[in-house]
Amino acid sequence: MDRLQHGPTTLVEKRPTGLTQTSLYDYMTTSSPLTSPIMSPQSSAPVSPGTQMADDSLTDDDFNMSDDHSDDESDDESVDVPDDMDLDDVIPALTTKKQLPLSNEVVFNSGLMTRSRAAKLAASADGTPPALQQFYHLQSPAHSQDPSPPFPPPSGPDDPINRSKPEAHGNPPVTANLRAALNNAVPYHQSHQGSIYSSNLMAQGVLLDAFTGTRDYLGNQVIITSVAGGRVRDEATGNMIRVASQGTNNQGYKALSNAFHARRPVVLIVGAGNPLLQVRVEHYYNVLDYFHITNIWSEGSINAAGELIQHYMVRFERVDLATRSWWETAGADLNPRHQPGEYHCRVQRCDNCHFDNDEIYDQGWTCLEPDCERFFQFPFEVDLDALQYSQAFLRRRFRFTNFPLPQPLVPELPSALSVRPGGMFGTEKHFKRGIVCPLCFYCSRRVLWHEWRCENPSGCEYVLHIPIREVPMNHIMAETAASILRRRQKFIHTDNDVLAFTTFGQGYDMATFYLPGETDARGEHDYVGSITIFRPTKTTLERPGGLNDLFMSMQDAVRERKINLRRNPARNKGHRIEELTSHFTSNIGADYKFGVVVATSSGFDEAPVPVMQALNRLTWAGETATKMTTRDVSRHGINADKASMPDEFREFNEQLILGYFEESKISYHDDGEKELGPTVATLSLGSPSVMCFRPKKNKRIGPQSTMHKKNRPPMVSFVLEHGDMVAMHGTDIHKHYEHKVDPEGIMRYALTCRYIRPEMMADETRRQLALTKGAVPEFWKNRPYLGEDNLDLLASPAASGHADGDLVMEGAANNIMVAPAANGLAADAVANDAVIEDAIAAGATADNAVVADIITTAQDNEMTNEVSIPMSVEDRFLGGITELNDIWRSNPGLVSQLSQQDRETVLALAATLSSTAGEGTNST
Ligand SMILES: O=C(O)CCC(=O)C(=O)O
Ligand SMILES: [Fe+2]
């Protein structure tokens, strides 16, 4: 069989297991080397041995693709291959004794211990053998208690990994000490966990970190690595071992194979902990260069049960064969650079399966087809662990032409030009990615709201400042209208057992929900807290000094750096795998810890005006919510836990400001540190968002708390629009529930006030600071916010002419959609129309005419054609478009009600909105 006639695609398709050696020979043509797209032609099997075996020396060492263990929930859109480790990773430490002189290229091979012996050792009854333990301890962070070495990681000559290594010939084009900084700054390795980063299953970059496979190899022009994945944890030893063949479902294999077939160069990155790296590096992660994939093949090994199994190996060849590689040792150029045509690797056809493959190993040719009976059978008995690559295989070079590099290794900086009228604002997701410092090439995250600062610990002072443009109200209105359209109408979702009331007055529509506590043995529960949403009327928003103005002055205060927002470490602080929060934070008044410690920057006496205006508004909201709760509880006989929901309101002494760029969010959390007072109130300014509450795990509340967290739906969820305030009243809300907020636009501020009880603070300094910094200055105390008019909100319903305080729903339906006729938040049809009209009016005269257009179209298509959709509001709410599709699928009855056109409108709307939001491609 002649593989050349099939072409690579056919080959893979015809052999669904795909366990075949694939090499560039698959692409060989009979044309001349210069016209061939890849390389010189070579006859098919059998091929006479090329010139080979010169003076290359061997050492025994090896490495594998793996890395550290971040639990980042980043939105990598592509495949991560989870890192793992197997016995191979352990063997080299026991066998790396022999270090032969370097010359041409260096082969690292562990040949002294067979896999079965290692397996026996590892599985020995008394646990891990001392030598292995020592290895773990010294060299294997993944096996120590703490999965990552502290930051700063290996840097400088004193570091254990680097100390003995010689200086490098050159400098890496890009370096980083933090995994997240690397992921943020370069497009070709955005994976937080795996070693292979791919996009649409096309490999972009491969990280060669500390754990190496038996026959991994790092030369100046050629790199060979085993493909991670497919290993399982050995119960007895805790080690990752291979028990079965890898198979083509391995995502890493697929991604590499696709890059190979597309002849797409990939970027290799080396971790300083990689034992094969021969030179000293200053920082942990170091970009090597672009490489072509020249071979992917199956290597055989023996598992613990003595069976022959298969895993993938991949050979990379540096694209630039002309210059020295930076990772060669400094000094004389001792490493010859091989060129295409100098060496040929023997190819032979298997008598049994009739496939050709290269003679990869020194020990002779073997069939590399895992399905073939002759797979990995050598002409004479061979210790598989002692296999070594043939020199011809290592030295052969391929000729590639016309395969341009996908992008520069050092990405371009975000440009100030993008922040232009009608264009981006500076808070789109594009601007939250990291940068590669143009001075020192160190990867730096977007830590500060205002600008990028080089994070190089060696002290680079580079700052990239791109001014953030003011986001006008009409943009926010367009976002809000789009958000409404996306879910077709405004709504609130509450679950069984949630009590809900609506009312209005003082310039707001209000809804209050009472959250149930745990159910006791008799099946009864009380209520542990209330959540009140205050939605401002149009006038409340637009009047001079109203909420629109507050949003503008908030933007000014931030721009003028009176408020300094920054992202803080959320996980693994100080380690290589440190992750930042998605949102930016600034704390004013008493200090407040929630998950991440947010250091207090200033007291209320030095806070900028919008912060104090927000404080006064939130004080009113918190106090009103407390009073309404007290009233509802007595009027409706609600079985309330008064210890959690006291009747008295405590003045706030703290404000936490959260800033959100596009796609920033705050994941499920509670606000409940022990010092927290009973009331927490938040003002939303800017882009709309979705807030959700759900019972914590294993609380006896509803069915949700026993579900896996991925499936645990919210018990209460609602949209927060610009100007909305939310007051949570009840300390036990934070014991029983957690909440999250997902903003939907490009700029949102959440200003949250709390009372932090100084008397509960153990630390005297903190207590004093809470008292001084948290004190509200007289000036602001004398100017309280009292609502929008002088009506007494709590007066009798007749006074306002509305049936206020009506019980809307009690422990019944799955959702509330208050009829438009009713008061309250969900006076939908009318309110929506007004918002949309406004947005159209504003949008048509402003930059975002596109958005206005879509809204008009969508309105024509949808709003006039509004149908009452009996679908789960919650589902529509949560997942937006995706969920909508799911619902259509699972509920065929709906299809008759929703036209294809409606569906397309929603999808087009989402797509256009995301494209008008910016061309940024990095999700960070
Ligand atoms: O962004 C928001 O509205 C929520 C903020 C929040 O949950 C918090 O600050 O704890
Ligand atoms: Fe919170």
Nearest CA to 95 out of 110, 81, 117 is that of 110
Task: Report CA Rg, the chain.
Answer: 32
Enumerate domains of the chain plus CATH numbers: 57-342 (2.30.280.10), 473-787+827-915 (2.60.120.590)
Residue 292 CA to ligand 2 centre (angstroms): 48
Strands 676-686 and 725-729, bridge-based pairing: antiparallel
Interface pTM, i.e. ipTM: 0.99
Strands 676-686 and 747-756, bridge-based pairing: antiparallel
Checking if the pLDDT of 534 tops 90, the result is: yes
> Residue 350 in contact with residue 367, Cβ under 8 Å?
yes
Strands 508-516 and 202-208, bridge-based pairing: unpaired
Distance of CA 709 to the CA centre of its chain: 17
Do the annotations mark residue 462 as ligand-binding? no
Residue 670 CA to ligand 2 centre (angstroms): 6
pLDDT at 418: 72
Residue 739 CA to ligand 1 centre (angstroms): 8
Checking if the pLDDT of 201 tops 80, the result is: yes
Any bridge partners for residue 312, and if so which? 298
| CA separation for the pair 827, 759 (Å, rounded) | 44
Checking if the pLDDT of 475 tops 50, the result is: yes
Checking if the pLDDT of 148 tops 70, the result is: no
| CA separation for the pair 728, 139 (Å, rounded) | 49
> Residue 655 in contact with residue 662, Cβ under 8 Å?
no
> Which amino acid does the sequence have at 486?
R
- The CA-CA-CA angle for residues 663, 666, 671, to 5°, reads 165
| CA separation for the pair 115, 819 (Å, rounded) | 71
- Region 827-839: mean pLDDT is 42
pLDDT at 494: 65
| CA separation for the pair 523, 648 (Å, rounded) | 30
| CA separation for the pair 535, 790 (Å, rounded) | 18
Any bridge partners for residue 389, and if so which? 361
- Collapsing DSSP to helix, strand or coil, 376 comes out as coil
pLDDT at 879: 33
Which ligand 1 atom is at minimum distance from the Cα of 743? 1
Residue 671 CA to ligand 2 centre (angstroms): 5
Nearest CA to 645 out of 732, 569, 578 is that of 732
Tell me how far CA of residue 777 lies from CA of 510, 833, 902, in angstroms: 29, 42, 54
Report the range out of 100-104, 216-220, 226-230, 397-401 with the highest average pLDDT.
216-220
Do the annotations mark residue 669 as ligand-binding? yes
- pLDDT tens-digit series, residues 708-754: 777 778 888 888 999 999 999 999 999 999 999 999 999 999 999 99
Q: For the chain, how far is it from start to end, CA to CA, in angstroms?
A: 48
> Residue 562 in contact with residue 752, Cβ under 8 Å?
no
Strands 202-208 and 266-271, bridge-based pairing: parallel
Backbone dihedral region of 127: left (phi > 0), alpha (psi from -120 to 50 degrees) or beta? Answer: left
Checking if the pLDDT of 295 tops 60, the result is: yes
Residues with Cβ within 8 Å of residue 667, at least 6 apart in sequence: 73, 582, 740
Residue 447 CA to ligand 1 centre (angstroms): 19
Determine which residue's CA is closest to atom 1 belonging to ligand 1: 750
Tell me how far CA of residue 913 lies from CA of 421, 714, 725, 901, in angstroms: 17, 26, 26, 18
- Region of poorest pLDDT, from 132-141, 349-358, 538-547: 132-141
Distance of CA 383 to the CA centre of its chain: 43
Determine which residue's CA is closest to atom 3 belonging to ligand 1: 750
Which ligand minimizes its atom distance to the CA of 584? 1
| CA separation for the pair 104, 117 (Å, rounded) | 32
> Which amino acid does the sequence have at 541?
L
Which ligand minimizes its atom distance to the CA of 669? 2
| CA separation for the pair 661, 477 (Å, rounded) | 17
pLDDT-based confidence at 599, cuts 50/70/90? low
- Region of poorest pLDDT, from 516-525, 797-806, 904-913: 797-806
Which ligand 1 atom is at minimum distance from the Cα of 752? 9
Mutate to test the pocket of ligand 1, among 534, 581, 584, 666 (most ligand atoms within 8 A of CB): 666
> Residue 898 in contact with residue 888, Cβ under 8 Å?
yes
Residue 906 CA to ligand 1 centre (angstroms): 28
Max Cα distance, the chain (Å): 101
Which ligand minimizes its atom distance to the CA of 656? 1
Q: DSSP secondary structure string, 272-335?
A: TT-TT--S--SSSEEEEEEEEEEEEEEEEEE-TTS-EEEEEEEEEEES--SS--TTSBSSS--S
pLDDT at 60: 22
| CA separation for the pair 740, 714 (Å, rounded) | 10
Determine which residue's CA is closest to atom 10 belonging to ligand 1: 671
| CA separation for the pair 415, 287 (Å, rounded) | 23
| Between 298 and 820, the higher pLDDT residue | 298
Residue 646 CA to ligand 2 centre (angstroms): 20
Residue 679 CA to ligand 2 centre (angstroms): 12
Residue 726 CA to ligand 2 centre (angstroms): 11
pLDDT at 672: 82
Mutate to test the pocket of ligand 1, among 739, 753, 755, 756 (most ligand atoms within 8 A of CB): 739
Do the annotations mark residue 143 as ligand-binding? no
Determine which residue's CA is closest to atom 9 belonging to ligand 1: 752
- Collapsing DSSP to helix, strand or coil, 203 comes out as strand
Which ligand 1 atom is at minimum distance from the Cα of 684? 3
Which ligand minimizes its atom distance to the CA of 722? 1
Checking if the pLDDT of 106 tops 70, the result is: no
Residue 678 CA to ligand 2 centre (angstroms): 13
- The residue whose two tokens read 């008394």 is 126
Instruction: State the SS3 of 633-692.
Output: HHHHCCCECCCCCCCCCCCCCEEEEEEEECCCCEEEECCCCCCEEEEEEEEEEECCEEEE
> Residue 469 in contact with residue 425, Cβ under 8 Å?
yes
pLDDT at 669: 92
Tell me how far CA of residue 846 lies from CA of 148, 369, 421, 537, in angstroms: 50, 63, 10, 23
Determine which residue's CA is closest to atom 2 belonging to ligand 1: 750
Which ligand 1 atom is at minimum distance from the Cα of 691? 3
Distance of CA 49 to the CA centre of its chain: 49
> Residue 491 in contact with residue 814, Cβ under 8 Å?
no
| CA separation for the pair 514, 531 (Å, rounded) | 7
pLDDT-based confidence at 159, cuts 50/70/90? low
**Buried/exposed code over 279-298 (b: 16+ C-beta within 10 A; e: otherwise):** bbbbbbbbbbbbbbbbbbbb
> Residue 64 in contact with residue 216, Cβ under 8 Å?
yes
Assigned token pair, 436? 């590669």
Residue 537 CA to ligand 2 centre (angstroms): 25
pLDDT-based confidence at 600, cuts 50/70/90? low
Which ligand minimizes its atom distance to the CA of 734? 2
pLDDT at 162: 64
User: Virtual CA dihedral for 50, 53, 59, 61, nearest 10 degrees?
Assistant: 10
Which ligand 1 atom is at minimum distance from the Cα of 594? 10
Strands 308-318 and 285-302, bridge-based pairing: antiparallel
- pLDDT tens-digit series, residues 237-288: 777 778 888 887 888 999 999 999 999 999 999 999 898 999 999 999 999 9
> Residue 268 in contact with residue 291, Cβ under 8 Å?
yes
pLDDT at 650: 95
Q: Which residues line ligand 1 (CB under 6 A)?
A: 594, 656, 658, 666, 671, 682, 684, 739, 741, 750, 752
Assigned token pair, 696? 């914590």
Determine which residue's CA is closest to atom 7 belonging to ligand 1: 740
- Collapsing DSSP to helix, strand or coil, 451 comes out as strand
Residue 808 CA to ligand 2 centre (angstroms): 26
| CA separation for the pair 883, 891 (Å, rounded) | 12
> Residue 628 in contact with residue 532, Cβ under 8 Å?
yes
Residue 682 CA to ligand 1 centre (angstroms): 7
- The residue whose two tokens read 């149009």 is 538
Which ligand minimizes its atom distance to the CA of 753? 1
Assigned token pair, 737? 């529930």
Strands 463-465 and 492-494, bridge-based pairing: unpaired
Checking if the pLDDT of 913 tops 80, the result is: no
| CA separation for the pair 451, 446 (Å, rounded) | 7
- Region of poorest pLDDT, from 12-21, 428-437, 654-663, 682-691: 12-21
Residue 752 CA to ligand 2 centre (angstroms): 8
Determine which residue's CA is closest to atom 5 belonging to ligand 1: 750
CB atoms within 10 A of CB 765: 8
Mutate to test the pocket of ligand 1, among 568, 752, 753 (most ligand atoms within 8 A of CB): 752
Residues with Cβ within 8 Å of residue 343, at least 6 apart in sequence: 50, 51, 52, 391, 392, 395, 396, 397
| CA separation for the pair 571, 211 (Å, rounded) | 23
DSSP 8-class letter at 363:
T
| CA separation for the pair 906, 487 (Å, rounded) | 9
pLDDT at 216: 95
| CA separation for the pair 65, 142 (Å, rounded) | 13
- Collapsing DSSP to helix, strand or coil, 106 comes out as strand
> Which amino acid does the sequence have at 638?
I
